Amino acid sequence: MKLFPYSRLATLLVACLLGFLATPASAQTPGPTPFSALPSAPAAPVAPKAPTAPNAPQPPSISSPGTPLVNLQIGNGNDRQNLSTAIQIVIVMTLLTLAPSLIMLMTSFTRIVIVLGFVRTALGVPSAPANQLLIGISMFITFFIMAPVWQQIQEQAINPYMNEQIGSNEAMDRAVEPIRNFMLRQTRPGEIDFFLDLAGMGRTDLKDLPMRVVLPAFVISELRTAFQMGFLIFIPFLVIDFLVASTLMSMGMMMMPPTMVALPLKLLLFVLVDGWQLVIRSLVQSFTS
């Protein structure tokens, strides 16, 4: 057997390789088509634009000369009247804000609520009646005492003003006068002289006293009267505390709190003498005398 030399074998392999490469492309099996060669999908038809209305009006800007402006006006166009009306509105809103303070300081509310608070403390029950109930009782008693004053204000100021018989300034002066007279009746002369000295004013008639003197003098006088009534209310309950404490001490019951024994006795005494009626009657009569 005769073997082919290595040179001839290499030549044969090279020839076969060249023959394979020289085969035409049409004879080869077609491969997958590249992505770039695929036919693109037809584009969706574009909807035609809506026709624009010819000469469409554009919204006017603020700076354009033809822009309509909103004008807020109080009154009928008179500058003096507009200013006066605006000031009156400010004054009314201020009075509404200060209404609770005015009710407490310019009426009988101050004395009543302080005295009722002393009654609750003297009994030894700081939570009965509650603060809301105490303030409610004081408010209704205040309305009862101040009813004649409200009636005078209704007849002298509010009704003529609603009937357009007087102006707002005169109505205000007429409304203040009954309250001023009420405060002067309940104010001590010494308190008025004290605030007149603080204000640097000399001897002044009652009708010429300004409200900046009458109001603080009335408040200080009410506080003084309320504390005097509170002292008188404390006396009987203080006597009961002394008697209970001395009795427990003599019996050798030093560990027993005196308040536990004195509280029922004070409540019993207050109920037997009808204490609430006595206190309310004293308060009402203190303003009518």
Task: Point out the residues of the chain with pLDDT beneath 70.
Answer: 1-84, 289
Domain ranges in the chain are 79-288
C-alpha to C-alpha distance for 150 and 163, rounded to whole angstroms? 18
Q: What is the pLDDT of residue 289?
A: 64
pTM of the model: 0.63
Q: Give Cα separations from 235 to 91, 122, 246, 275 (angstroms).
A: 47, 9, 17, 14
Residue 280's contacts (CB-CB under 8 Å, 6 or more residues apart) are 141
List pLDDT tens digits, range 166-183. 877 788 888 888 888 888
Q: Report how far apart, in Å, the C-alpha atoms of 54 and of each of 47, 49, 58, 61 are.
A: 21, 14, 12, 20
pLDDT value of residue 12: 52
pLDDT at 91: 76
